[in-house]
Structure 1
Amino acid sequence: MVKSGSRTSAEPRVSPFRLAAHLTSVFVIYNGIFWTALSVVMPEPPAESVAWLKGAAKVKRLALPVSILVGITGVSGAFVAGNDAGRAFNTFPKMGDTWVPADIFSMKPLLRNFFENTSIAQLDHRVLGTTTLAAIGGLWFSTQKLDLHPAIRSLIGSIVGMAALQRLALPVSILVGITVPVSLGTAHQDGVLTLLSLMLLLNHTVRRPSVSLLKTLPPVVKIVT
């Protein structure tokens, strides 16, 4: 980061690779601290009944891959910022007059386009954002018939609301402007962190209880995780 910013030029730029690495390290450190704090505040997950534990175990299998997708989408935003791709196409849902820009594979070698091509950087972020919203919607739909603790159901609803705000309202507001206001850009980044925090909270809430807690429940059904 320091090396990129200290280059002598009229407009200092940070390498998108260093920006993505920096953001990834921030996510990892933040997730570790947040998970530890949650473990102190909530040593055991909600486990008042075996039925709720069965439902939580099913949510757990869905929550982890969705959380990873949220993280990947967030990191892809670093390549948008690093390549200044946010200013390239200020239309939505199309990118200019087309759905897919013609120059997405204009660089050689081919792999370079995914990290340094302005058009594909924004296209990737759009596709990942839409996929994340669809995945979270699928998570919500898949849990509708499960017997869940009210706190878990409420948390999933909050995740859906945050995902919709993060994927629809904020990005569209940013794209339709000629320039990206600092306030909207910051709100978009804060939204990613908030969504990631909610997903982390969900994973923490549906984790397997300790053996001592399981022994206090009637051993009617074996919990599969």
Structure 2
Amino acid sequence: MTHIGVSAPTSPTRIPAARLEKIQRDRVLIRWWLYGVCALILAMVVVGGATRLTESGLSITEWKPIHGVIPPLTEAEWEEELEKYRQIPEYQLINKGMSLSEFKFIFWWEWGHRVLGRIIGVAFFVPMVAFWAMGRIEPWLKPRLLIGLALGGLQGFVGWWMVTSGLVDRVDVSQYRLATHLTLALIIFAYLFWIARRLTPLPEPTVLEQTRLRGLSTLFLGLVFIQMFLGGLVAGLNAGMTFNTWPLMDGKWIPNGLLIMDPLWRNFFENVMTVQFQHRITAYVLIVAAIALCFATFRVSSQSHLRRAGAHIAAFVALQAVFGILTLIWVVPLSMALVHQGFAVIVLASAVDHLACLKGPYPIAKRATA
């Protein structure tokens, strides 16, 4: 018997019914475990945004992967942490004279951000080891999970690499490194969500759906990643604090001063006006692409789950555009900015969902295609 969303074995006796049922039960556990990790990554993105917006990211000047879980416990330890902070340019040029209570506020944001990262690591590693030991992980899935684990470790190093850029010659972190740190977090989210989504028992896509929609769906996912990287540059340069009007920017549709830096390429990464402008333009492109993908999906497919994925893309992108406009014209209030950043992950999830539906579920066999 062929199960919905599961490729039939090449011969009736290749996978016994009892073994097939066990694999399907195991997939449910693994799928929801991965969804849980994705939810923690979403929370991490939001907390990271709050850490940035409250200017808390440089409050802890050392990287202690193990010992750093324990915060200062005595007044002397708090004074020691504050003294370390007093040595960096951010304190000396911006926060000179900061009281201990003010320092504690920014310290707790950064500490919470780092501890949440460790919690995500534990939430991924411990269940993986347990499922592996119990024989619940299919052979083809094991290397994919190890890749996810390696990406998580890399993210820790990238996070510290980002922080070090603001400890010596700058009063904040490099926008290049911040955008890289954010983008890697989103890559990890998308990677794990892709695996979890394709462990879901859904109907197989038709050849027509794959032929007509996969290219546009892949393009849309790529645009989402580009836009999120650009959002990281906006955050790194505090570009959202400037030109707080919409739809015009600096009183014009195409403002002057977009290409004033030399060499030319620097404008796209370091010119505050250009960085915000390209984030706006990419948003418009995304809106058009989302509408096109939604209409194409409804025209080509009659499957409810694929149509729902297309509708989610159009609705979520439109809503995210509203959040972005409000964040801009209200001059980046913390609550709205965090909604905008967090909902970007939901948009990413919708893009991955659509493409995963077109790829189809992983077949139950000794090997599964990528």
Smaller-chain TM-score bracket: 0.7 to 0.9
Per-residue deviation, 1:2: 1.6
Per-residue deviation, 1:104: 1.0
Q: Does 1:164 align with 2:318?
A: yes
| Counterpart for residue 173 of structure 1 | 326
The root-mean-square deviation of aligned C-alpha atoms, in Å, is 2.0
| Counterpart for residue 23 of structure 1 | 182
Per-residue deviation, 1:61: 2.4
| Counterpart for residue 203 of structure 2 | 46
Q: Which structure 2 residues correspond to residues 1-225 of structure 1 after superposition, within 5 A?
A: 1-7=162-168, 12-40=171-199, 42=200, 45-47=202-204, 53-57=206-210, 58-167=212-321, 169-177=322-330, 179-208=331-360
Which structure has the bigger radius of gyration? Answer: 2
| SS in structure 2 at match of 1:125 | helix
Distance of aligned partners of 1:32 and 1:209 in 2 relative to their CA distance in 1, 3 Å threshold = closer
Greater mean deviation of Cα atoms: 131-140 or 25-34:
25-34
Equivalent residues of 1:45, 1:204 under 8 A apart: no
Equivalent residues of 1:56, 1:207 under 8 A apart: no
Q: Name the % identity.
A: 31
| SS in structure 2 at match of 1:144 | helix
Per-residue deviation, 1:155: 1.5
TM-score scaled to structure 1, two decimals?
Answer: 0.83
Distance 2:265 2:221 in 1: 26
Q: For residues 10-45 of structure 1, what are the alpha-carbon distances to aligned partners after superposition, in whole Å with 9 as ceiling and x for unaligned?
A: xx31111001111121122112221222233x1x54
Equivalent residues of 1:45, 1:206 under 8 A apart: no
Per-residue deviation, 1:6: 2.3
Per-residue deviation, 1:4: 2.4
| Counterpart for residue 217 of structure 1 | none
Distance 2:353 2:363 in 1: 21
Distance of aligned partners of 1:210 and 1:97 in 2 relative to their CA distance in 1, 3 Å threshold = closer
TM-score scaled to structure 2, two decimals?
Answer: 0.52
Q: For residues 85-110 of structure 1, what are the alpha-carbon distances to aligned partners after superposition, in whole Å with 9 as ceiling and x for unaligned?
A: 10111100100211122111111111
| SS in structure 1 at match of 2:299 | coil
Q: How many residues align?
A: 203
Per-residue deviation, 1:209: 6.0
Q: Which has the higher contact order (CA 8 A, sep 6+)?
A: 1
